[in-house]
Structure formats: C-alpha cells, structure tokens
A and B are shown apart, each in its own frame.
Chain A
Amino acid sequence: MRVAIVVFPGSNCDRDVFEAIKSISKKLPKFIWHKETNIENFDLIIIPGGFTFGDYLRCGALASNSPVIKSIRDHASRGGAILGICNGFQILTETKLLPGTLIRNSVLKFLCHDLNVIVQDTLASPFTWGFKPSAKLNIPIAHNEGNYYINDNELKKLKFNGQIAFKYEESFNPNGSVENIAGVLSENGRILGMMPHPERSVFDNHNSLDGKLFFQNLMEQLLS
C-alpha cells in the first residue's frame, strides 16, 4: 500500500495523517511537497487538513492552483484513490475534482467537536463499502468553513448517483451544510472529501477509534 500525503504551505494535519497511516498499514507514507510535478504512482493520495496559504482568497483556492495539482488530476483520471480531509476537501472542491463548495459555518464560529457521522448508501467506493449504510462513526470535526453548499440541480445528481458518503446526524448538523452532508464522493467513487478528521480518532488516547476503522476499511477495500 503506497500512500502519499500532499503538503502545502499551511498544511497542519500532515504529521497526524502520517502517524495514523503508519500505525495502520505498517508502512511509511510519503510526503509530497506541493511544488512537485512528477510524482510516482500511489495507491492513495491524501490531502490533509490545515490552512493552506492562510486560507487567502478562499479556502483551498490558492492550493488548487499549486504545481502538484496536475499530477493529482492525472492520478484521478487513472482512477486513483484520493482522500481530502477538511482543508483537503476544500481544495478538492476548488479543483472541481469534487462538486459543491465549502462555505462559512452558519454559526460564524470555528467549530471543534466530537460527533457522529452516518455512512450513506453509496455507489461502489473503497471509502464507504465495507460499512453498513447507516453505520455511525464517531470522528471529530475542526473547521470554520465546513458548510457544504451545492445547488439544487447538482444535489439531485449527487443523490441519484449515490455520491453522498457521510451525513451528520440530523439533530446535530454543526455547520449548516445542505442535507447535513459531511462527505461527498466523485462520480466514480474513487475520490472522497470529508470535513471530519479520521486521523484524530486512531490512537488509544483519542476519544474514539472510529477513524482507525475508517482507514482499516479503506486499506482493505483498496487492496481487495
């Protein structure tokens, strides 16, 4: 399992993701600096959370024009798996590899919570298959712009295609996202963007181990 972690100026969850993947896969992931243009083949590319380029202009907008993005697009067009977490999700929507946009939390506050996300009934995807639809995963969030917005027409398409991967519980939608959406998949199911941070629920000193379950399932699915 070859895993790459893309690092931009302002990424700040790259080390956490590294430690999570290392402990689960027993192999060392590789850091890829955002200026690299010729990256080797990986089974999974992870764009971690953070505040790339200080969130200037819009979250993820500047990072989505970094040199490494071309290689990430090539990886995507080969059907390669990509996971964007938090700011990584914002970057993937800015590159248009995923539909929709993450806007300011409706409560106008930075939010940091432990919460449950519910796995949805999706199209074939290594990120969700292996879980029962409606399974709950306790994975924390930490964001200021996690309010997923998509227009009605595109939302219909997302639902029809089974591209909604995770939802917040209806009684606890922290950020005002459309239909409580917490994570979405690309049309081929190979790219996932999610606001919750699975790398923060992996070790015994974390509040939950559900992020570990998420990564373990992902690795199994990718290897099968």
Chain B
Amino acid sequence: MMIDVIIDIFPKKEVLNPETEAVKKTLSNLGYKNIDELVLSKQIKLSFKNLNEEDCLYQSKLMCDQILVNTNIQDYEISLLKKD
C-alpha cells in the first residue's frame, strides 16, 4: 500500500510577507475587494512505500523540522492520504 503525505508550508502570520501583499494588492486592483486574508503556501507531496501511517507521519515531521521548513518564519501542516 502506498501512503501519500501532503505538507503545506506557509509563512508565519507575524512575518510580513511582501509577496503576499503584492498579490493581494493586485487582486484588489482587479476589483476583488472582499479578500480579508491571502496565504501563499508551498505544498510538498511525498509518496511512501512499505511504511505504516504512524511512521509516515513521524518521518514527515522529522523532515520538516530538519530541512523542509524554517520554523523561524514558516509553519506547516501535515495531512495523510491513503491509496490502495
């Protein structure tokens, strides 16, 4: 069985993100005036083989803390998708 793990990485709220502000401003210029919050995130998808769910999640978390995420400026969420 394969298990897919999706890691969403997004900037911490307290870190001013100029890229987000620029996209938001452009959307506003295009007439979309009701956007309260816009989040630009990065998604990483991992497909694991021969590993149970618990270990997939555990290894994903280790990877996030070790290299995939800079927790000074980013937060992340891990979710799991089972495939047959």
Contacts and interface: CB of A to CB of B under 8 A. Distances in A.
B72 A104 contact: no
Contact of A57 (B14, B17, B68): B68
Interface residues of A, number: 20
Interface in B46-73: 66-68, 70, 72-73
B30 interface: no
Contacts of B72: 93, 100-101, 149-151
B36 interface: no
Q: State which size class the interface on B falls in.
A: 10 to 19
B18 A106 contact: yes
B70 A108 contact: no
A176 B67 contact: no
A104 B18 contact: yes
Interface in A87-114: 93-94, 100-101, 103-108
Contact of A108 (B14, B15, B18, B67): B18
A70 interface: no
19 contacts: A57-B67, A58-B70, A62-B67, A65-B66, A65-B67, A93-B72, A94-B70, A100-B72, A101-B70, A101-B73, A103-B15, A104-B19, A105-B18, A108-B19, A108-B22, A149-B72, A150-B72, A151-B14, A151-B72
Given A61-B70, A176-B16, 14 more contacts: A57-B67, A62-B67, A65-B67, A93-B72, A103-B15, A103-B17, A103-B73, A104-B18, A106-B16, A106-B18, A107-B18, A108-B19, A108-B22, A149-B15
